[in-house]
Structure formats: structure tokens, C-alpha cells
Amino acid sequence: MARLILSLDGQTLAEYNMNKERYTIGRLPDNDVRIDNPAVSGHHSLVI
């Protein structure tokens, strides 16, 4: 199974098991992976 690791400056902030077919990533709460950072857009990316 794939895993997404969110890190900043070498420190792991979160880990996500990628067990679905599609994941949305972004700042807004309706995303599967939410990144609360002003540099990340509301709906930043889609992983398929």
C-alpha cells in the first residue's frame, strides 16, 4: 500500500495510508488530505 508522508524541514507532520483510488490535497476542509498552510491552495492537487 502506498503512503503519503507530509514533512517540513525534516520533521514528519503527518502520514496517510493511500488506500483509496483518488485523494484530493489542499487547504480546505473538504479535501482528503488537508494542509493548513497559506502557500497551499484550497484544492491544490489530485492523486490518482
Q: Is the pLDDT of residue 34 over 90?
A: yes
What pTM did the predictor assign?
Answer: 0.81
CB 25 within 8 A of CB 14: no
pLDDT of res. 42: 98
How much is the pLDDT for 36?
A: 93
pLDDT of residue 1: 85
Q: Residue 11: what pLDDT?
A: 97
CB 33 within 8 A of CB 39: no
Dihedral-angle region of residue 29 (phi above 0 means left; psi in -120 to 50 means alpha; beta otherwise): alpha
pLDDT tens digits, one per residue of 1-33: 899 999 999 999 999 999 999 999 999 999 999
Cα separation, 22 vs 38, whole angstroms: 23
